[in-house]
Amino acid sequence: MIDPDLKTQLDIINANLIGIKNKKSGGVWRAFFNGMFSALGYVIGLVIVVFILVWALQKTGMWQPFQSEVSNFTNLVNEAEKLLPSSSQPSPSPQSEKTGSGGGETTVTLPNGQRIQVNLPAGY
């Protein structure tokens, strides 16, 4: 036999579950549109924050230095991209081949496959 308090609590839980089941939800489309409007709200909020930030930077006179720093950073990234090899394959580590004993001229293979001659002192 079930305890009467436990039975009443189970009846209350069952009634709540039946109420949740019978509640008319909007289904997939309602969830989709709720998600779309939430995302739209995030985007609009982000745009407002960016406008306020730009306005504050202009009022304090820090907009021009900020633009110059962004330009310098962009130039730095562009220069770094020029230094990277163009192939998307992982490149092997540089290899060296000794052409003489001791020090002297050595051929080094770079990650992009290019070979260069390097004069190294003895012991390397």
Question: Which position has the higher pLDDT, 73 or 103?
Answer: 73
pTM above 0.75, yes or no: no
Containing 6, the helix (H) or strand (E) segment is: helix 4-22
pLDDT class for 39, splitting at 50, 70, 90? very high
- Cβ neighbors of 124 (< 8 A, separation 6 or more) are 103, 106
Q: Look up tokens 């839980």; give the residue.
A: 13
Instruction: Say whether pLDDT at 94 is over 70.
Output: no
SS3 73: helix
What is the rounded CA–CA span in Å between residue 101 and residue 98? 7
The DSSP code for 62 is -
Tell me the domain boundaries of the chain: 4-84, 93-124
What is the rounded CA–CA span in Å between residue 96 and residue 25? 69
Tokens standing for residue 70:
């962004």
Instruction: Say whether pLDDT at 17 is over 70.
Output: yes
